[in-house]
Structure 1
């Protein structure tokens, strides 16, 4: 996204009296907040799912579920809270939760909160069957007999398992996923169906239902399965029908247990320095035998010719903004010379990474990458209030592969110049924006006095789709604060000269001792 379009989108929030009023509180409101419910709480059956269509996308290394549901208020009073249940063993794997009113999509995401039962929070070892709720808050209360169409999407991490768990080096990798043919819900559902999308048509095993429909179920078309449609007005809410699918996924199943991403702003140097540190793990099928470099070299010939695929990670491609320079790729040993950087000042630059060794199932790889950009492409100065700047940076950049990457934890640090004050942030664009925990601190580096201002954002359960999310940081940086660094450098050099002069004045010669 071009910086000008981002700034214009946020100008209404940041200019004039609007920004002045926002200075008293952070610009970002967390997407999800925790609520505690009574131990015997059950959502009232005030809604009816008149028609529900769920799509489960298994084309990447994580699960993406999207549900479009026509919701009707069957109560006698207006209702504004729609509950979605999740088992407690699943809720910790969910990220990127996004809910919208399809007829009012321009208004953006609906407010979402998370609720848990009090006895679940108090228990030291909660049962795997205990329930948490995502609560969607409608913009306006839904009147009796009125309907609204909700579009709900989220991703699930760590839900895909290899089967078999061990394979030979030249064998295909297959994954399994378990779900319910009936969508878990607390409301009666009149009609529903589920469509499952696979990366290929190679789906050797899947559950077939009996008695749910008059026709064969599921219906297979190319690389997708369709369960239903089912007429379920008499099926009690919460009823499940277990379904399992096994499909080919001969690609890396990548999980980054921790991504540390630092963005450092230098006004004097006019530079935006970015560094990312990855702790990467391949969650796919492990090797049944020892790794053979000879066999892998033979495989590479057919892979490069497009006649074969492999579940091993061979390379990562990192798209960078136009004008990116000074890219580097290092690991625990040192510089990795197998990388290739393609700079471009007009189009997207590219950093191609080849690890020191191919990454197979169960293997780990830790590395870091970094690059520089011209600060003017990401920073603008606002007219009011005075000495106020706005910085636009993506939440995630990094590798962009077809199989995707899931991040268990993301630590994003924005390091501002020394003396920057009144730091605020907000998110812009993207879907399923993760809930961010913000901390403010000082980051001490060379020739600093008090330390640079640091904004630290932490979140969990993020996938590479979050690269569409932009972080907008506003801060004040006065002219006098900008003189702090050159004055510190001048004072340091002056002290060195004075000390050298005084040391030079000391008489260290050996003379005769007076009697």
Structure 2
């Protein structure tokens, strides 16, 4: 009996907290939603104008991502009417993931801008195609904006990668024009309303997924930082059905084909000594071009990537340390990207970044631009190392281009430790010369002893 009462009390407390978190007097006065399906990513942006029925200031807002979409949500951000970033706090909810945000004080009719990016939300249909067939994809969504608040009026604009649409949900009012589908406006939409939406259309944009990315940053206090990436890529579009024909591929004159011939990688403008190789050696068909604010690499795999095909390669370069490493006495701060731009609208299943610090670095503190998984620290040994170089490692899953941001790594380092390797070399040479001198001074000959025995 006591257990039942306790459960009821807990349930009642949760219910009260949930009701308190959602002010039912708040309404979405107007919602403009844009769904971008022009690439392999689904980018959804919202412009939401809020209103309180009692004309009171609105201090916070709650945005819901449905349960079935949460695992595909890669990035989310929110801004107010002045384009100032709003801090998001995620909590669990029976309806999905709830993101709460605090609004500027005194806002009576605030405007909130929300950006979301979803991965693997476009499903190839059919799942496998022949070499010369079209690639079609399906998107499953909601005609209505999924919100815990009533919406007075809303409209959704869907941008497609092609005007060739096989089918789409015709929930009136709806208009299809060229590569755009407009749903609405819809008035007086109740909270948590759902009306399934399906769009089936042609899409030839590169469906490339980096299944694994290992990024190693080796810091040297002698003026250089070496970066090396090991990358595994798969074409995640419709799988190739049947054998590949080189003859059909070369005679196919279509500008749009369901394969990826090349892609462009962007490196820092200060990158030098760039090298790239696959399992067979150097990717000789690639080219590099230095532009104003980056180094462009046009990477062309040895074979075109069709659905289900994979490639693996290593990319490395050097950058000067003075651009990324800052010093104040014995305190150092390294500020670099978590990852580089691999290709447009990239999807990375998992990236692991390792930072190798100089031997003797202590009091290490890592600051990341978003939540990551911190891996156990380890040691890295190279020539002339005695007790090993500290290695800081962290991982992040479901990464897109919006995650290209700088991490900060702070540590202490005594500059006297920079003399360790030169002193080891000098000490080794000194001992070697001493041994050579001793060897030359000693006489190991037995000739005199033989002559003495012969005289006797």
Q: TM-score, normalised by structure 1?
A: 0.76
For 1:376, the equivalent position in structure 2 comes to 322
CA contact (8 A) 2:157 2:183 kept: yes
> How far apart are 1:398 and its partner, in Å?
4.0
For 1:450, the equivalent position in structure 2 comes to 387
For 2:283, the equivalent position in structure 1 comes to 336
The C-alpha deviation readout for 1:337-383, integer Å capped at 9, x for no partner, is 332234x48663222212122111112222221111222333333xx
* Structure number with higher relative contact order (C-alpha < 8 Å, ≥ 6 residues apart): 1
Q: How many residues align?
A: 434
Alignment CA distance shift 1:77-1:133 (3 Å): farther
Listed as ranges, the gaps of 5+ residues in structure 1 are 1-36, 118-129, 211-216, 428-432
- Residue 417 of structure 2 is aligned with which of 476, 481, 503? 481
Select the structure that is richer in strand: 2
Alignment CA distance shift 1:87-1:322 (3 Å): closer
> How far apart are 1:283 and its partner, in Å?
1.2
What is the distance in 2 between the residues matched to 1:114 and 1:483? 49
Alignment CA distance shift 1:142-1:246 (3 Å): farther
Listed as ranges, the gaps of 5+ residues in structure 2 are 1-12, 451-456
Find out whether 1:114 has 2:95 as its counterpart. Answer: no
What is the distance in 2 between the residues matched to 1:449 and 1:154? 48
For 1:326, the equivalent position in structure 2 comes to 273
What is the distance in 2 between the residues matched to 1:224 and 1:505? 91
The aligned runs of 1:133-282 (5 Å cut-off) are: 133-140=97-104, 146-210=108-172, 217-232=173-188, 235-268=189-222, 270-282=223-235
CA contact (8 A) 1:444 1:450 kept: no
Find out whether 1:391 has 2:334 as its counterpart. Answer: yes
Alignment CA distance shift 1:415-1:50 (3 Å): same
What is the distance in 1 between the residues matched to 2:271 and 2:440? 47
What is the distance in 2 between the residues matched to 1:418 and 1:493? 22
For 1:359, the equivalent position in structure 2 comes to 305
> How far apart are 1:207 and its partner, in Å?
0.9
Q: TM-score, normalised by structure 2?
A: 0.85
Find out whether 1:417 has 2:417 as its counterpart. Answer: no
Larger radius of gyration: 2
- RMSD over equivalenced CA pairs, Å: 3.1
What is the distance in 2 between the residues matched to 1:498 and 1:196? 80
The C-alpha deviation readout for 1:221-251, integer Å capped at 9, x for no partner, is 332111111102xx43111011111122113
The C-alpha deviation readout for 1:104-148, integer Å capped at 9, x for no partner, is x2x4x222122225xxxxxxxxxxxx53323222155667xx222
- Matched residue SS, 2:417: helix
What is the distance in 2 between the residues matched to 1:102 and 1:372? 41
- Matched residue SS, 1:90: helix
What is the distance in 2 between the residues matched to 1:201 and 1:47? 39
Find out whether 1:86 has 2:65 as its counterpart. Answer: yes
CA contact (8 A) 2:155 2:185 kept: yes
